[in-house]
Amino acid sequence: MHATKGRKQAQHQTGEKYLAFTVGGESYAVPVRRVSEIVGYIDITAVAGSPQHVKGLLQLRERTVTVIDLRTYFRLPPAERNHDACIIIVNIESGGERYPAGIVVDQVGEVETFGAENTIPTNTAGGEPDFIAGISRVGDRTTALLDVDRLLSSDELAMVTRLQRAA
């Protein structure tokens, strides 16, 4: 746990590029190095028995990708999908392995650099959810920086990995 915290702090000190997006009118971002692509909102196959925030699976260039609905994850009401909604494909790392996952967002923004001068690292003791790596403030805009490796619990990751392999 201390190694992860140190890694997060080191990244914020040097400034890291993030892909910004909105969900429910709030600003979030994920490290660009963890993004493999952005796709329009496409058909997702629901999977019975999966956690509520796991929207299902999608087939993307001969690979199966688990899709996480951030609106459900953040306990926001559903919204009608429009032309701005899309899926950001990120790589979740666990146990030395990389797993593709899609996160459904309302709208993708720009690539931004956040550094120590405008970012406050967070931890669960401070009351922030475990998947929030930091809070960045630039001007009058506040952005929550997501730790994609913590979007799924180890049990959820094991379950979706089984689903991906079976698909």
**Nearest C-alpha neighbor of 9 from the set 109, 127, 110, 145:** 145
Q: Which domains does the chain have, with CATH numbers?
A: 2-166 (2.40.50.180)
Inter-CA distances, 119 with 86, 135, 153, Å: 26, 6, 25
Task: In whole angstroms, give the CA distance from residue 71 to residue 86.
Answer: 13
The pLDDT profile of the chain, 167 residues, written as one tens digit per residue, is 344 444 444 444 458 999 999 999 999 999 999 999 999 988 898 888 888 888 989 988 888 899 999 999 889 998 888 889 999 999 998 888 888 899 999 999 999 998 888 888 776 445 556 788 889 988 888 999 999 998 887 788 777 777 767 76
Task: In whole angstroms, give the CA distance from residue 102 to residue 91.
Answer: 9
What's the helix, strand, coil split of the chain in %, to 5? 25, 45, 30
